[in-house]
Amino acid sequence: MEVKNETLTFREAFDQLQKIVEQLESDSVELEQALALYEKGVQLSQYCAGLLEQAELKIQQVSQPQTEQQEPDSDVF
């Protein structure tokens, strides 16, 4: 079961992940369905983690002072 994560926002992916957790926590899911839900949940979790990592990197870049962002090129001389 492949998840089309590229088109999901973080909120959409996180909401889907929460629904999967709720389904898995209920005792009414058959084993085969639970395995499929677990697989989709892992994919969504990895996707969300990747988006958070990208956001963190962007925040770090924006937060750097201008002098650190523009390091002199040592190969000029």
Q: Which domain holds residue 51?
A: 30-60
Cα–Cα distance measured from residue 37 to residue 21, given in angstroms and rounded to the nearest whole number: 9
Query: Is residue 44 domain-resident?
Result: yes
Q: What is the pLDDT of the chain when averaged over all its residues?
A: 86
Taking the whole predicted model, whether its pTM rises above 0.75 is answered as no
For helices 10-25 and 31-63, the axis angle rounded to 10 degrees is 150
Query: Is residue 39 domain-resident?
Result: yes
How many separate domains does the chain show? Answer: 1
Q: What's the pLDDT at 26?
A: 93
Each residue's pLDDT tens digit, 10-41: 999 999 999 999 999 998 999 999 999 999 99
